[in-house]
Amino acid sequence: MSQPAHLGFRILPMPAPIQAATVDAFMSVVTPHISDNMHRLCGVIGLQRYHREKKLVGRAITVKVRSGDNLMIHKAIDLAEPGDVIVVDGGGDLTQALVGELMQLHAQVRGVAGFVIDGAVRDVAAFLAADFPCFARGNTHRGPFKEGPGEINVPVAIGGLVIEAGDLIVGDEDGLVAVPASRLDDVLQAARAQALREQQRKEAILAGKDRREWIDATLKDKGVIA
């Protein structure tokens, strides 16, 4: 007989995989193009990059923890499959670091693609040296506790965005977005189309042919100019 679910201290099943070809395709898509095609409302805010430049793309394994406690993050690393991203709702608390160099090494050995931590990290130099993708709200030298509770593969709130286990996480120098698994093809095609439009626009700007009439038309409509 299976054990009953303990709300607040449980592990839910792993989400469905994302095709490798889809992950590879998003490697060449920038986060602004993804965000723009999700009505500029579906992105994470307030986190900063703690690695150098490596792109982060992978399936979300979500973790919700008590402030300053990383027991369930350790378990999520052990459950993660190569290419997964560990996404942690630490409540934005910065008093204790939730991950550091040793956990980064464990994750790297398992093939984890990176961390998204709505909380604090430590051993900043190690993340920079390894260029292991890590986005976090802040950093502190103070280490974590390992008692729980916590939950794995539940919906989490990260920087104003609800992320579900199985969403595709994309992170670059401009920030982080999460694309629902059911909308990956739609968003990918829309982002690629936008990239093409912007390339054409850049060429027009350089050639001095970019149309600017829209500015005065907008100002006239708002009564700023006659």
59 in Cβ contact with 136 (< 8 Å): no
**Please, are residues 86 and 77 in contact by the beta-carbon 8 Å criterion?**
yes
pLDDT for 1: 41
Domain 14-180: CATH superfamily is Ribonuclease E inhibitor RraA/RraA-like (3.50.30.40)
Question: How high is the pLDDT of residue 6?
Answer: 84
Q: pLDDT tens digits for 25-55?
A: 999 999 999 999 999 988 999 999 999 999 9
Q: What is the pLDDT of residue 4?
A: 57
- Specify the pLDDT at position 3: 55
DSSP-based three-state secondary structure for 198:
helix
Cα 38 to Cα 42: distance, rounded to the nearest angstrom: 6
Which whole-number Å values give the CA distances from 28 to 22, 23, 36, 163, in the listed order?
11, 10, 16, 22
Structure tokens belonging to residue 98: 């939730």
What gap in Å lies between CA 214 and CA 107, rounded to an integer?
A: 50
Phi, psi values for residue 116, rounded to 5°: -125, 115
**Residue ranges for the chain with pLDDT beneath 70:** 1-5
Distance between CA atoms of residues 225 and 222, nearest Å:
8
